[in-house]
Amino acid sequence: MSLTIEQMKKLLKEINSSLKEALFDYCTAPHPQKIVLHFKEAPPLLICFQEAFLRFHLTQYSGQDTSSFFSKKLTQHLRGWYLKSCELVNEDRILRMVLKKGELTQTLISELIPKKPNCYLVDSQRSILVSLHPTIHTSYLPPKTLPPLLSLGSPEDTTSASVEAIYRHKELEAEFLKKRNTLVGELKNKLNKAQKAEAKFSEELEKALLWEQAHHEASLLQANLYKITKGLRQVSVNDWLKDNGEVILNLDPTLPPSEEVSKRFQKSKKLKKAIDPLSAQLKQAHQAVEKLSLMLEQVQQIETKQELESFCQRHEGLSKKIIKNKLAKKTLSLPYHEFVTQAGLKIWVGKNAHANDKLTFTYAHGSDYWLHARDVPGSHVILHLGKHLKPDEESLLDAIHAALFYSKAKERQEGEVCITQCKYVSRYKKNLPGKVHLSLQRITYAKIDLERLKKLKENKFTNLS
């Protein structure tokens, strides 16, 4: 976090002055790693968990009220609660906000720590109600060690407005660099393809220009046909273009002599015919290389957003195509339905047999939990975890319910479920997508809890089909 401790204290004083006893209304998420807390008759509070922009301050944010799973949960839990206090834990980068409703207390803890920022809503018993990023813990535990604090700095002119302006400039600069780097990357890919095409056409044209040699060798064989019998691998003939000097020609031992000669004449004709189109293709590829090289050089020299926009306007067709390709990659249909548990863990449910195969062997990680209703057709279910993490009991129960509901066991409302990790799952046969072999597993029995299932469905995220 680039803010110094003194600057954070100054911001905290401003926040407490504006928000103490303020009534929480709702939460929005202008970015997956940002939340904006909205209060009745008080300015909004922005908390950013993006690695490069870790910060908190009052904001004039008035953009589109987008939401995320986390922001929706904060709204559900905190609407109608009053902010009682806001402080820095141990004068460090952990912002603790205490909210009350009657005798009840909830605390929003924002860890603005490099490499592992997170946000937790906890109850009076420190049980985690929801978190921005998944956690293996059910109760909140403060970080054991923190990176060193930045040196103390002057808090002069540190206000939410000034901090917001500074970071807005930084974010716009980062957005510009991201767009420019995307354009540079796409141009490099196109240039690489054009260079490969140029090399390919150049090589093929060189071969085509040897058509006269191929024709001459065919003529030599035709004149010495009496020397050739099927099965020969070589034949020695006198070349009239080399003062009747002796040359050795390689033969295809599987072909009759007449077919050997005919094949060589056909090859010669084909090579000659290819010269004009290959020359045109080589010219076109060379022009593309020159154009893309120039464009790449121009983009790499761009230093402002305005210059980038001007370049994109001049090359509108290319920039639109690049954007379209990027969007196509982002909106590519996923092979699974996604749900989010109360602890913030993701549950992926395969859409069909082929999707099951892709989900388990392409998208899932070895440490993820894999579930399937036992002895009945059904979806592969993945409980997506970080490395070395274990799921909380409630998240695992949600995944078990998903495995039962998305299988034939749904009809009985109960059944056994196989549970293992993805590293113990292997394909049964290549031509049987979705069929797997488990080298290690445990079996559990469960009845479908309709209330749990209802809550899980409420947290379903829609993927493009």
Note the pLDDT tens digit of each residue in 346-390: 899 999 999 999 999 999 999 999 999 999 999 999 999 877 778
pLDDT of residue 327: 47
pLDDT of residue 432: 82
CA-CA distances (angstroms) from residue 350 to 9, 250, 361, 399?
Answer: 49, 58, 12, 12
Confidence of residue 464 (pLDDT cuts 50, 70, 90): very low
Please compute the mean of the pLDDT values over residues 40-67 and round it to a whole number. Answer: 87
pLDDT of residue 396: 95
Please name the residue ranges forming H helices in 331-449. 353-358, 393-405
pLDDT of residue 150: 53
Q: Any idea which residue has 């319910």 for tokens? A: 401
State the amino acid at position 70 in one-letter form.
F
| Spatial separation of the C-alpha atoms in residues 271 and 267, rounded to whole Å | 6
Q: What is this structure's pTM?
A: 0.62
Cα(first)–Cα(last) distance of the chain, in Å? 40
Provide the 3-class DSSP secondary structure of residue 258: helix
Q: What are phi and psi of 70, to 5 degrees?
A: -65, -45
Please compute the mean of the pLDDT values over residues 209-217 and round it to a whole number. Answer: 93
| Spatial separation of the C-alpha atoms in residues 393 and 163, rounded to whole Å | 42
CA-nearest of 140, 138, 63 to 94 is 140
Element (H, E) at 16: helix 5-19
Confidence of residue 159 (pLDDT cuts 50, 70, 90): confident
The two three-digit tokens of residue 275, written as one number: 């010269």
Residue 237 contacts residue 266 (beta carbons within 8 Å): no
| Spatial separation of the C-alpha atoms in residues 384 and 158, rounded to whole Å | 41
CA-nearest of 16, 53, 20 to 34 is 53
| Spatial separation of the C-alpha atoms in residues 300 and 229, rounded to whole Å | 64
pLDDT at 16 over 50: yes
pLDDT at 180 over 50: yes
pLDDT of residue 448: 93
**What contacts 396, CB < 8 A, 6 or more positions away?**
369, 383, 419
CA-nearest of 86, 84, 74, 71 to 35 is 71
- Burial, 155: exposed, middle or buried (Cβ in 10 Å; 0-12, 13-18, 19+)? middle
Residue 251 contacts residue 229 (beta carbons within 8 Å): no
Torsion sign across C-alpha atoms 238, 241, 242, 244: positive
Q: What does the H/E/C string look like for 111-173?
A: ECCCCCCEEEEEECCCEEEEECCCCCCCECCCCCCCCCCCCCCCCCCCCHHHHHHHHHHHHHH
CA-nearest of 275, 132, 119, 289 to 199 is 289
412-441, pLDDT tens digit by residue? 999 999 999 999 999 987 778 889 999 999
pLDDT, mean over the chain: 88
Please compute the mean of the pLDDT values over residues 214-229 and round it to a whole number. Answer: 91
Please compute the mean of the pLDDT values over residues 124-138 and round it to a whole number. Answer: 86
Measured at the CA of 153, the angle between CA 148 and CA 158, to 5 degrees, comes to: 120
pLDDT of residue 309: 86
What percentage of the chain has pLDDT greater than the value 70?
91
pLDDT of residue 331: 47
Residue 350 contacts residue 372 (beta carbons within 8 Å): no
The two three-digit tokens of residue 261, written as one number: 């000669």
Q: Are strands 425-427 and 436-438 parallel, antiparallel or unpaired?
A: antiparallel
pLDDT of residue 44: 95
Of the segments 28-42, 125-139, 141-155, 303-317, which one has the largest average pLDDT value? 28-42
244-272, pLDDT tens digit by residue? 899 999 999 999 999 999 999 999 999 99
Q: What is the DSSP letter of 428?
A: S
Domains and CATH numbers, the chain: 5-143 (2.30.310.10), 177-222+234-243+264-327 (no CATH), 336-461 (no CATH)
Please compute the mean of the pLDDT values over residues 320-339 and round it to a whole number. Answer: 65
CA-CA distances (angstroms) from residue 66 to 32, 61, 127, 363?
Answer: 10, 12, 27, 27
Residue 45 contacts residue 60 (beta carbons within 8 Å): no
Q: What is the DSSP letter of 357?
A: H
Q: What are phi and psi of 302, to 5 degrees?
A: -70, 135
Residue 245 contacts residue 220 (beta carbons within 8 Å): no
Provide the phi-psi class of 457: left if phi over 0, else alpha when psi is between -120 and 50, else beta: alpha
